[in-house]
Amino acid sequence: MRKLYHSHLSPYARRVLIVLLEKGLEHQREKHAFAREFAGLASINPCLLLPVFIDGDVHLWGSNLIIEYLLKTYPRMGVNSPKPPLGSAMTRSDRHWEDARVLATVETMTDSIMNLRQMKMSGVEADQVAYLRRQRDRIDLCLDWLDKNATSDGFAPGEFSIMDLNLICALGNVDNHKSFEWRGRPALEAIVARYSERPSVKATRQE
Ligand SMILES: N[C@@H](CCC(=O)N[C@@H](CS)C(=O)NCC(=O)O)C(=O)O
């Protein structure tokens, strides 16, 4: 049986959960409030991070790597998911480098969002440390760049792309924790609104 170890309200885990739901893949979940409270984590991931996914002999960590595995291993699952269909690959083959750059940007931004959140939980505010102020600046610059490089139909119109999905998970985490205001960026607002009622997105909002 497939098994996902994940933590609560994680934008990384949510990426994987959305793909599992889109593809209708049965799986067990082991949810932890925080990765740091999961005593057995070192034995399943040397990076000490969640999510971790196990599918038979396959044992993976890194949310986008897990998604790539799911897309490649179960290409025919999810054909009945809502329109537009989930992207069939991480990037479009004819726009690989542009799409990979968008994914890299959302990933860096997500890491900065989570870094600031982890520091806040440890009692350190962004304005107290120069490195954290740079993370905050990076988030705004990435958001502005993503807004310019998206359309109101998403990063890859005609599909619910992995880029859209990554963005929605990052901004959903910001909203869940009321971390800061990201709105005022029309294309990003349109993407979030466009998919807010999609069953996989709705069902994972508080997971
Ligand atoms: N690049 C990893 C990042 C995973 C990650 O940062 N997970 C967080 C949960 S939101 C975590 O496990 N944090 C534990 C820690 O930082 O100690 C991925 O995409 O899966």
What is the tens place of the pLDDT at every residue in 5-33? Answer: 999 999 999 999 999 999 999 999 999 99
The verdict on 14 and 69 lying in the same domain is yes
Query: What are the residues facing 59 on neighbouring strands?
Result: 54
Identify whether 176 is part of a domain.
Answer: yes
Identify whether 86 is part of a domain.
Answer: no
Atom of ligand 1 at shortest distance to CA of 10? 10
Kind of pairing between the strands at 52-55 and 58-61: antiparallel
Residue 98's pLDDT is what?
A: 98
Residue nearest to atom 1 of ligand 1 (CA): 62
Share of the chain above pLDDT 70, in %: 100
pTM, entire model: 0.97
The verdict on 106 and 65 lying in the same domain is no
Residue 126's pLDDT is what?
A: 85
Identify whether 79 is part of a domain.
Answer: no
Residue 55's pLDDT is what?
A: 98
Atom of ligand 1 at shortest distance to CA of 36? 17
Identify whether 80 is part of a domain.
Answer: no
The verdict on 64 and 99 lying in the same domain is no
Identify whether 185 is part of a domain.
Answer: yes
The verdict on 119 and 172 lying in the same domain is yes
The verdict on 103 and 56 lying in the same domain is no
Please provide the average confidence, as pLDDT, over all residues in the chain.
Answer: 96
**Hunting for tokens 């038979």 — which residue is that?**
56
Residue 78's pLDDT is what?
A: 83
Q: Which domain holds residue 193?
A: 93-203
111, pLDDT greater than 90:
yes
The verdict on 199 and 103 lying in the same domain is yes
Identify whether 84 is part of a domain.
Answer: no
The verdict on 68 and 99 lying in the same domain is no
What is the tens place of the pLDDT at every residue in 45-71? Answer: 999 999 999 999 999 999 999 999 999
User: Residue 198 C-alpha to ligand 1 middle, in angstroms?
Assistant: 25
User: Residue 109 C-alpha to ligand 1 middle, in angstroms?
Assistant: 13
- Six token digits for residue 72: 């490649």
Residue nearest to atom 6 of ligand 1 (CA): 49
Query: What's the structural domain count of the chain?
Result: 2
CB 88 within 8 A of CB 156: no
The enclosing domain of 117 has a CATH number of 1.20.1050.10
Rounded Cα gap, residues 126 and 123, in angstroms: 10
Residue 59's pLDDT is what?
A: 98
The verdict on 111 and 69 lying in the same domain is no
Identify whether 82 is part of a domain.
Answer: no
The enclosing domain of 23 has a CATH number of 3.40.30.10
Q: What is the DSSP letter of 49?
A: -
Mutation test residue for ligand 1: of 32, 49, 169, 179, the one with most atoms within 8 Å of CB: 49
* Ligand 1 contacts CB of residue 36 (under 6 A): yes
What is the tens place of the pLDDT at every residue in 120-167? Answer: 999 998 888 999 999 999 999 999 999 999 999 999 999 999 999 999
User: Residue 26 C-alpha to ligand 1 middle, in angstroms?
Assistant: 23
Residue 108 buriedness (CB in 10 A; 0-12 / 13-18 / 19+): middle
80, pLDDT greater than 80:
no
Residue 105's pLDDT is what?
A: 98
The verdict on 66 and 110 lying in the same domain is no
- Six token digits for residue 40: 């057995």
Mutation test residue for ligand 1: of 5, 8, 12, 47, the one with most atoms within 8 Å of CB: 12
Residue 114: partners with Cβ closer than 8 Å, 6 or more residues away? 11, 173
Residue 81's pLDDT is what?
A: 85
* Ligand 1 contacts CB of residue 54 (under 6 A): no
**Hunting for tokens 């990435």 — which residue is that?**
142
Share of the chain above pLDDT 90, in %: 94
Residue 26's pLDDT is what?
A: 96
The helix (run of H) or strand (run of E) holding residue 3 is strand 3-7
| Number of other residues whose CB lies within 10 A of the CB of residue 183 | 12
Rounded Cα gap, residues 2 and 85, in angstroms: 23
